[in-house]
Amino acid sequence: MTSKPEIILIIRIANIDERVRLSKNVHYFTSRDYGLELWKKKGTHKSIYNEKDICKTYNSKGIEYILWMTGLFFRLLFRKRKKLVFVSGYESALMVYLVSLIRGGAYIYDNPDNFYQSKQLPKLLKKLVFWIDCRIINRARITVVPDHSRIPGYNIDHDRFLVIKNFPSLVDYKKSEALGLKKTHKLVLYTNGWLVPTRGLNMMSEFIGKLEDGLDLEIKITGKKEGLGENILGSKYVNYLGVVDATTSLAHYYTSDVILTFYDPALEINRKASPNKWGDALVTKTVPILNSEIETTGNYFPEGGYFAIKYNDADALHQLTMDLYNDKTLLENKQKELKQNPIYFWEDQMDKLPLSNAKK
């Protein structure tokens, strides 16, 4: 019988619940009885896992990056026992890769967002970052991505990738159903997570300002409130619910008619979006409204089941909302389509990882 390896999970984040993907990974490894160390930034929560702080959070991201990467490099270089490293994020994976050249050791590269696609970099710098990323991928045991669109188009063996789509965990799914939240308005719109200018913030603000009085309408928002502005938070239609955990966030889908998911297509990574919201929408049968410039909708919704409008088109969002408010059959037809799409759960996908039987 093959013994389970001990795992070091590395990510530059302070608190586990700030990142849904991290929370799902931590719970997966602990539920499967893997020995787990979590290397991260110093957080504010009470530690319940075997956590190692690499550095604290700094106001200057430049300083933080330098201290994180330096601290991580030497912690990896002088660690005593060989363990399987599961590393998330380009800057952390680069340090793992460099140390592996010196002292060996296996690692899995969790790459939810290609760094060279996430930033608007000068052309030559983007090529350099991409070249380094390919080196990291080629040395990894395997690289985890959320969609086939994140796999580089050349010079890479596609067998070195495992696609794990951003669906919720079965545990969170069952817990969210058990919460039994109730719908209280005729039409409920929902958005969660990171609501910033590159994810439809300005569009949302303008849309809310167009809503007429007297509607039996609710717009639920979960996540950080910084930057939302008085036009959003002060609206009679907005129900701001604060920062919630993954289970509660998922539970609010059941009491919502649509989930709003907008991504600025000016960023390459946004045109190849693969958000948790889509997986959540599919398992809860909540119809998404998304922007039409996204190229990956067919990978999650091959049978349809969503509404698409142009990014930053607040007028189109207002018109669609009023159409849904006045004609329930529009939503019912999309719900029928949505139910035809395949669904997955996080644990079933993670079980495909070669944690103990791949070559180092």
Q: How far is CA 133 from the centre of its chain?
A: 20
CA distance 312 to 204: 8
Statement: residue 155 has pLDDT above 60? no
Share of the chain above pLDDT 70, in %: 95
Topology at the third CATH level for domain 174-338 = Rossmann fold (3.40.50)
Q: According to the model, what pLDDT value does residue 45 have?
A: 66
List the end-to-end C-alpha distance of the chain, in Å, as a whole number: 19
Of the candidates 43, 16, 113, 83, the residue with the CA atom closest to the CA atom of residue 54: 43
Q: According to the model, what pLDDT value does residue 357 have?
A: 44
Q: Is 199 exposed, middle or buried (0-12, 13-18, 19+ CB in 10 A)?
A: buried
Instruction: Judge contact between 235 and 215, C-beta under 8 A.
Output: no
Q: Render pLDDT for 300-311 as a digit per residue (tens, 0 to 9).
A: 999 999 999 999
Q: Measured between alpha carbons, how far is residue 230 from residues 65, 101, 261 in Å?
A: 33, 52, 21
Q: According to the model, what pLDDT value does residue 153 have?
A: 62
Of the candidates 137, 133, 111, 39, the residue with the CA atom closest to the CA atom of residue 79: 39
Mean pLDDT of 58-87: 90
Instruction: Judge contact between 132 and 155, C-beta under 8 A.
Output: no
Mean pLDDT of 42-54: 76
Of the candidates 178, 175, 238, the residue with the CA atom closest to the CA atom of residue 208: 238
Q: How is the chain split into domains, by residue range?
A: 7-165+346-350, 174-338
Q: According to the model, what pLDDT value does residue 20 have?
A: 87
Please state the pTM of the whole predicted model.
Answer: 0.90
Q: Measured between alpha carbons, how far is residue 166 from residues 137, 138, 234, 343, 348 in Å?
A: 20, 23, 32, 10, 12
Mean pLDDT of 280-306: 97
Please state which CATH number belongs to domain 7-165+346-350: 3.40.50.2000
Q: Please, which residues have CB within 8 angstroms of residue 171's CB and are 6 or more apart in sequence? A: 27, 31, 347
Q: Is 252 exposed, middle or buried (0-12, 13-18, 19+ CB in 10 A)?
A: buried
Q: According to the model, what pLDDT value does residue 44 have?
A: 66
- Out of 57-71, 77-91, 96-110, the most confident range is 96-110
Structure tokens that stand for 113 in this block: 């967002």
Q: According to the model, what pLDDT value does residue 360 have?
A: 42
The pLDDT confidence band at residue 156, using thresholds 50, 70 and 90, is low
Q: According to the model, what pLDDT value does residue 148 have?
A: 86
More confident residue, 307 or 153: 307
7-165+346-350 and 174-338 in the same fold? yes
Statement: residue 154 has pLDDT above 60? no
CA distance 14 to 16: 7
Mean pLDDT of 229-243: 93
Statement: residue 280 has pLDDT above 80? yes
